[in-house]
Structure 1
Amino acid sequence: MKTRRRSPSRSKCSGLTTFVRAARFSALAAIALGLASCAIMPSSSRYPTKGDVRPHEGVASAHQLPIHGVDISKWQGDVDWASLRRAGTQFAFIKATEGGDHVDSKFQENWQEAKKAGVPRGAYHFVYWCRPAHEQAAWFKRNVPRDPEALPPVLDVEWNGQSVNCPKKVPREQALAMIDVMLREMEAHTGKRPIIYTDITFHKEILEGEFNDYPYWIRSTAAEPHVRYNNRRWTFWQFTTTGRVPGVKGDVDRNTFYGTENQWRMFVQSACDPRDHGRLKAQGVCRDMDPVQTASIGE
């Protein structure tokens, strides 16, 4: 039986084809890897180990601000708080309660471990619009310990159209009345003026022009806050829900404080936005600050 031999030119051509295919595959792999690394690339030299799976150019300015933190609930699973702290996390807001009968299953663990790791933390309550406000306030007070070293508590107000039992919206006046009750009760319990967390829709429909003596924590993941919120000064900004931070597996909300490192120290010490300290201190809302710090409130 005769063996069929390929001509030298065909062998050479086949080898060249294989090389080209391999080169193309390598190039595509490199591009894919590059895109993946871009998606989770560090957001700034200040926080080199933090990133975002879906970065948005509209919130680029958030990465330039010096004080960054996270918000955490059971959905983040087991959190390595020591790693979170080493990554430069300056604060954490931890879900505590929802409505009048739900406690986040990870709250007590997160609350204790964050303090142990040296991460300043505050507790937040998610409002359930089908439950009386006084019952929700009582539930928060029952489950969130008084801690003079904690950050101010947070009242999370947004519509929850995906809720099985309470997807409805309530009238504006009813919503404002409920918020007022809960803010006052949370302040009485913690000794600190609460922070109001909200999103674009709820702010537009309910909160514009309201509760201006309270610090606001606003959500805007695709644009600067002033683009989405009409005349609302903010203290905290949630700029992504797809952040990546050492110590947390998977996505985590990333947030930033509006001001400088010194203004952050003033906020922690006084439990008030430094811009409001002079006015609210007279009302007994804010704690005393170091005179040196006070002199540079407007820096």
Structure 2
Amino acid sequence: MISGVKRLWLFAVIAALGMGGGVAEAADGVPGVDVSNWTGDIDWASVASGGGKFAFVHATEGTNYRNPRFDPQFGGAASAGLVRGAYHFAQPHESDGATQAEYFLQNGGSWIADGQTLQGVLDIEDNPYKDRNGKNNCYDLSTEDMVTWLQDFTKRYRARTGRHAIIYTTTSWWQTCTGNSTKFRSNPLWLARWGTDPGELPKSWKKHTFWQSADKGPLVGGGNSFNGSESQLKAMANPPAEVSVTGVAKSRRTYTVTVANTGPHPVTNVKLSGRAFGGQSVVRAPGCTYSGTAVRCAIAELPRGKKVTFTFTTKPRKSKGTVGINVTVGSVKLTLKAG
């Protein structure tokens, strides 16, 4: 039995809105800010004219706090032409990760396919309420339990949005409270380290995507930078569609191919073509057309998070020898073989 998994990247037809202005290509990245209720009312036009290109806005904390200024701050950043994103301040001792992800999603943290909204951020750092809750910096969770909490949050966010949540943390906290876990490479890193150098990174990452270098920046709120160009920042807010293709040779006569929408956008008009080899012909393919060794299938629309499985039945001419089917979905090619 042989199986394969490959991904197909498609162009997403989404216009980037309100992105005028020059391209900031500073040596230390594209400048941005992070704000919360404590920042107060913000003159976003001044942030934009001062060179700010993105903003992270505090949305939620635990499961019982929503920033009362979130809507004007989040909307104001967009109106000024900034790329914006929301963040959730984790309280992992209060409830599980999936529950807090749902609260975040329902209160401003869900990704919007408008071309200027970044995926949400999970802010996980030293417990600032030790005097109030009596927990240590790791919220009294073991490294194993903390990793599980993080996985529950990020998996739920991914399942609901098709995006990998950004993780905001410090290297020291990550080393101490997760055992320097390497299980979060798919999640972009927003590194918190105040100073002139990002320094050592947590083990899950080889580079940071965002860097908070100061708690008070030159514009408003915290001082941050995006580790790339302005065009790359915009691309992060407007990612391509993503389709995964999985195939299994269940026997010499039966093959399955699953096409799954694993990205953030619905996709349409997905074409699959296959051709049997090894002296066999296709004799059954529900939902598809077939003739001789060839089979063709089409998916008119595949919503985000959904999948379609095709089953092909063949008739080998010989009882021995290698047989199989070659499958193509867009630029993805799979070869399924059976002995």
TM-score calculated relative to the size of structure 2: 0.57
1:9-88 matches, within 5 Å, as 64-88=27-51
Which residue of 99, 118, 128 maps to 1:151?
118
Per-residue deviation, 1:109 = 1.7
What is the identity, as a one-letter code, of the residue corresponding to 2:33? Answer: V
Distance 1:117 1:71 in 2: 15
Which residue of 180, 184, 189 maps to 2:155?
184
Which residue of 106, 118, 135 maps to 1:167?
135
Identity %: 29
SS of the counterpart of 2:237?
helix
SS of the counterpart of 1:189?
helix
Per-residue deviation, 1:263 = 2.5
Distance 1:75 1:201 in 2: 26
The alignment status of 1:224 with 2:197, answered yes or no, reads yes
| Change in CA separation of 1:223 and 1:114 when aligned onto 2, cut-off 3 Å | closer
Distance 1:91 1:286 in 2: 21
Q: Report what 2:72 is aligned to.
A: 109
> Which is higher, the Rg of structure 1 or of structure 2?
1
Distance 2:48 2:134 in 1: 37
Provide the aligned length of Structure 1 versus Structure 2: 218
Q: Which ranges of structure 2 fall in alignment gaps of 5 or more residues?
A: 1-22, 245-259, 267-339
What is the identity, as a one-letter code, of the residue corresponding to 1:80? Answer: D
- Structure number with the higher strand fraction is 2
What is the identity, as a one-letter code, of the residue corresponding to 1:270? Answer: P
The alignment status of 1:197 with 2:168, answered yes or no, reads yes
Q: In 2, are the aligned partners of 1:65 and 1:260 still within 8 Å (CA)?
A: no
Distance 2:94 2:240 in 1: 29
TM-score calculated relative to the size of structure 1: 0.65
Q: Report what 1:267 is aligned to.
A: 236
The alignment status of 1:236 with 2:204, answered yes or no, reads no
Q: Report what 2:262 is aligned to.
A: 284
| Change in CA separation of 1:107 and 1:271 when aligned onto 2, cut-off 3 Å | farther
Instruction: Give deviations 1:185-238, integer Å, cap 9, x for gaps.
Output: 222333321101101221212144231111111011135224354564211111
CA RMSD of aligned residues (A): 2.9
The alignment status of 1:253 with 2:226, answered yes or no, reads no
Q: Which ranges of structure 1 fall in alignment gaps of 5 or more residues?
A: 1-45, 48-61, 289-299
What is the identity, as a one-letter code, of the residue corresponding to 1:155? Answer: L
